[in-house]
Chain A
Amino acid sequence: MAQILVVDDSGTVRDEVCNFLRANGLAVASAMDGKDGLVKLKADSSIKLIISDVNMPNMDGLTMAEKIRTELNNSAVNIIMLTTENSPSMKERGKAAGIKGWIVKPFNGPAVISSIKKLSG
């Protein structure tokens, strides 16, 4: 049972984000890439928000988001992307896949926590 699923191939980033969210009283699960993310999301229906990296091996974050909407037919879960840069084509894909927001790395907890709580509540 988790409210938030953190998807990132970097263990450091994953741990940092997860620890921060846990410290703020949020239930968190994590996944290593897009494929893993899909599996974890399918297994846990209580997930309300996914915070995902864009570039990952096996399956990137945007593809995962698209598959969540089409294959899992899940339009309810909120998705936020962690990114370092963005291009118009990326934003367009994101919009189509119902991406709620873009957080430019590094992930800065205190500034985003209130919005994250709203999205995962």
Chain B
Amino acid sequence: MSIRYRITLLIALSFAAIFAIGAYAIFQAKSNATQVKNVTEKVVPSALAASDLVSQLKDVQLEATALVTATDKNIIDQVNENLTAKKAKLQEGIELQARQATNKAQQGLIRQIKENINNYFNAVDDTAKYKLAGQNELANANFYANATEFQRELGQIIETLRVEKIRTKDQAISALNQNLSQTATGISVVSIITILMLSVFGIILYRRIITPLRQMQTMMSEIATSQDFTRQVPVERMDEIGHSIVAFNMMIVKIQERSAELKQKTTDILAMLQNIPQGILTIIEDNKIHPEYSTYLETIFETRNMAGRDIMDLVFSNTNIGADALSQIEAVMGACIAEDVMNFEFNQHLLIGEIEKKMPGGQTKILDLSWSPIADDTNTIVRIMLCIRDVTELRKLAIEASKQKRELEIIGEILSVTQEKFHEFIAGSIRFIDENELLIRENPGHNADAIAYLFRNMHTIKGNARTYGLNHLTNIVHEAEQSYAELLKPRPAIAWDQATMMENLLAVKESVEHYARINELSLGRKGPGRRGNIDHYMMVEKRQIRETLQRLEKVNTSNLHELLAAHSSVQGTLRLLGTERIAEILDGVFASLPALATELGKEPPIIDIQDNGYVIHNHIAGLLKNVFMHLLRNSLDHGLESPGERLQQNKPAAGKIKLQMAAQDGMLQIRLGDDGRGLALARIRKIAIEKNMISSDTLLDDEETANLIFLPGFSTADKVTEVSGRGVGMDAVQNFVKRENGMIKIHFYDDKTGANFRQFEFIVSLPQIFSENVKGIDFHTQTTIDGILAELKFTEALPVAG
């Protein structure tokens, strides 16, 4: 049962009780009133009237007596008249008593009175009749004998009636009193019972309401204090309080969910702030930094404890921002915080997006700043959020990328021109430039002929450059040409200034030389055109240059990863320019081997090359050709045996020469070995002793002995042949390699220490910068090594475009 019903019931019961008490009281009052009315209007007056009867009877008797004693006629008549009136009054009194008789005793008495009164009145009437007739004696006798007797009897009966009436009256009053007292008692008892009942009911109700309320209050206070939202208030009854508790518990569950969510979010935000590689802070009033900022900010600004610091000091001190711009930023923050969000719109254009800041460590960083307002429900800005990115690297890369782009464009331009024509163009341009240089030097002041000559020369260079599509160069030449064109005018807007003219010319010269350098070094197209192995140049196709350029143009310069990827891709493309495979570099050398073998009476050797993806910058191609020409001829001459000898040793008639490439410890290693008889250590020692390079008792291990061949003047050939001993010994070959910071070593790979012949290989080491590995280059457009290799082709120099 719900509390509402209980309270309603209690009120209803109270009303019912009050109504019952009231009704009972009214009922009792009414019955008492009737009784009182009866007593006051009937019983008491009747008793008084009964008393009156006694005196009225006496009055009648006195009149009768007066009649008897009267002597005068007039008096007799008067007395008789009075007597008649008093008789009537007495008669009336008796009639009244007869009507008011309330019990049988009274009725009996009244009946006796009525009988006697008639006798009495008859006796009195007779007396009066006698008296009126003048019969005084008779009247006297009758009166005293009859009337008086009747009067005495009547008097006794009336007296009895009076006594009876008084008794009845006393009885009625007593009954009335008793009734009144009963009424009072009754009402009191009913009231007390009602009060008791209601009290008991009220107390029960009170307990039912207050006890759970108090429990609920205690629990709620505890939960509120402890903030332990996992607790629940127990529900004992499903009344209003029970429902309230259920609702409260539901609220607690929601609060717990919300607080868990909030906690999670706070944790997330904190984790984010701790781990995000970006500087994030918020600015509160007075331009102070809010304590919650991203940890990375400390890396960017190389400082700690930024909470509460002034933003102007932390971010904008030691920057390239002028004092006025700084005061604007400060004013904008002041104008925004605690103001409507509209103020941010008004002023955000004054908040600087990029700064260069000198850091405590001495480095200057380029920082990208992004500002945004944080507003509350009323659109009032509570904080300003500032995201800071260190874009130093990004900007550097972007500059690098634009340089690369220019480089690639120039390469593309050069590749579109045949080597021969390009060479002609460069040579011609240099000639014109030199002429102009001389002309400028010889003419400190304006000279019409000279300027016409200067202009013509420069115009020719520009025309050629434009014809060949060398756009970068054309632009630079155009500037110099324009200044000449101005000076050609009758009234030039610029002065003839030798220094400026030389400067312009120098720019053109540098640009031409830059093109020439790329052509020679990067593209390996030195000279008017290469005979023989021009086909073997490893070049990147024009298409790939174009694709790489497009990639650079599309790259999002604000995305470090994208920029890095593009950068490395372009780097890869650029690196491969002007590289060759060793097989191609040594192609001419290999080609000469069969003839040499025939000359030496040997089978042409089988060449096995494993380059493992390493390609070589072609500016050391010449060196490698010289070195390997010597080593390969040595191998054929001294190492590989004659076919007969080889067959005796169960070797195939044709010897095998193996060339392997690998990188180790920053060096490119080219290993050259053969399956011949090996290094003739005993013979080497003998020659060294003969040539007084060592004394006969010098103790040398195999490596030391082998290294004797690198000594100046050492030659193992019995006679200077066409083949090995061309007057260039191993010492010279070693020196070639050392000049490029490389080294040639002899490595034994058998275990026959001390033997006359030992299996060995030459290891030619060169700095790794002379090589690239095509397998290591990420082209992005290709996913497989094969794809990458397919992309790289041995191409011919491309024909002139258009």
> What residues make up the interface of A, taking CB atoms closer than 8 Å to B?
80, 83-88, 91, 100-105, 108, 111-112, 114-115
Contact = CB atoms under 8 A, between A and B. Distances in A.
A86 B349 contact: no
A86 B338 CA distance: 13
Contacts of B350: 104, 108
A115 B332 CA distance: 16
B331 interface: yes
B717 to A, nearest CB: 88
Contacts of B652: none
Nearest 10 A-B pairs (CB), nearest first? A102-B335, A86-B334, A104-B331, A111-B349, A103-B346, A101-B343, A85-B331, A112-B346, A104-B347, A104-B332
Contacts of A91: 334, 338-339
B348 interface: yes
Nearest to A107: B346
Contacts of B52: none
A114 B344 CA distance: 13
Given A84-B327, A85-B330, A104-B328, A111 B335 contact: no
B342 interface: yes
B327 A112 contact: no
Contacts of B328: 84, 104-105
Nearest to A86: B334
A111 B331 contact: no
Contacts of A86: 331, 334-335
Given A100-B340, A104-B328, A111 B345 contact: yes
Nearest to B329: A104
A101 B334 contact: no
Given A83-B335, A86-B335, A91-B338, A102 B346 contact: yes
A90 B489 CA distance: 64
Interface string B333-374: 011001110110111111000000000000000000000000
17 contacts: A84-B328, A85-B334, A91-B339, A100-B340, A101-B335, A101-B339, A101-B340, A101-B342, A102-B334, A102-B335, A102-B339, A102-B346, A104-B328, A104-B331, A104-B347, A114-B345, A115-B342
A104 B335 contact: yes
Contacts of A85: 327, 330-331, 334
Contacts of B340: 100-101
Interface centre among A104, A111, A112, by most B CB within 10 Å? A104
Contacts of B343: 101-103
A3 B286 CA distance: 35
Given A84-B328, A85-B334, 20 more contacts: A85-B330, A88-B286, A91-B339, A100-B342, A101-B340, A101-B342, A101-B343, A101-B346, A102-B346, A103-B335, A103-B347, A104-B328, A104-B335, A104-B347, A108-B349, A111-B349, A112-B346, A114-B345, A115-B342, A115-B345
Contacts of A115: 342, 345-346
A14 B338 CA distance: 28
Contacts of B349: 108, 111
Contacts of A103: 335, 343, 346-347
B237 to A, nearest CB: 54
**Secondary structure call for the A interface:** mixed
Nearest to B350: A104
A104 B328 CA distance: 7
A115 B348 CA distance: 13
Contacts of A84: 327-328, 331
A114 B342 CA distance: 10
Contacts of B334: 85-87, 91, 102
B338 A83 contact: no
A104 to B, nearest CB: 5
A119 to B, nearest CB: 8
B71 to A, nearest CB: 123
A111 B327 contact: no
A91 to B, nearest CB: 7
A80 B347 CA distance: 12
Interface centre among A87, A88, A91, A102, by most B CB within 10 Å? A102
A83 B342 contact: no
A111 B327 CA distance: 19
A108 B327 CA distance: 16
Contacts of A112: 345-346
Contacts of B347: 102-104
Nearest to A85: B331
A68 B345 CA distance: 26
A7 B328 CA distance: 21
A107 to B, nearest CB: 9
A103 B335 CA distance: 7
B348 A111 contact: yes
Interface centre among B286, B345, B348, by most A CB within 10 Å? B345
Contacts of B346: 80, 101-104, 111-112, 115
Contacts of B338: 91
Interface in B232-272: none
A116 B338 CA distance: 20
Contacts of B335: 83, 86, 101-104
B372 to A, nearest CB: 15
A83 B346 CA distance: 12
Interface string B83-112: 000000000000000000000000000000
Contacts of A83: 331, 335
A8 B479 CA distance: 49
B382 to A, nearest CB: 15
Nearest to B349: A111
A105 B331 CA distance: 9
A34 B349 CA distance: 28
A4 to B, nearest CB: 15
Nearest to A84: B331
Interface centre among B327, B338, B340, B342, by most A CB within 10 Å? B342
A111 B286 CA distance: 25
A106 to B, nearest CB: 9
A76 to B, nearest CB: 17
A83 B418 CA distance: 66
Contacts of A108: 349-350
Contacts of B348: 111
Nearest to B343: A101
A111 B350 CA distance: 10
Nearest to B286: A88
A85 B328 CA distance: 7
B323 to A, nearest CB: 12
A86 B348 CA distance: 16
A112 B346 CA distance: 5
Nearest to B351: A104
Contacts of A114: 345
Nearest to B334: A86
B761 to A, nearest CB: 74
A88 B285 CA distance: 9
Interface centre among A83, A103, A105, by most B CB within 10 Å? A103
Contacts of A111: 345-346, 348-349
A101 B332 CA distance: 11
A105 B347 CA distance: 9
Contacts of A102: 334-335, 339, 343, 346-347
A21 B332 CA distance: 22
B245 to A, nearest CB: 46
A85 B331 CA distance: 5
Nearest to B335: A102
A103 B349 CA distance: 11
Nearest to A103: B346
A99 to B, nearest CB: 9
Contacts of B331: 83-86, 104
B447 to A, nearest CB: 51
Interface in B295-336: 327-328, 330-332, 334-335
B283 to A, nearest CB: 15
Nearest to A100: B340
A84 B327 CA distance: 8
Interface centre among B330, B334, B340, by most A CB within 10 Å? B334
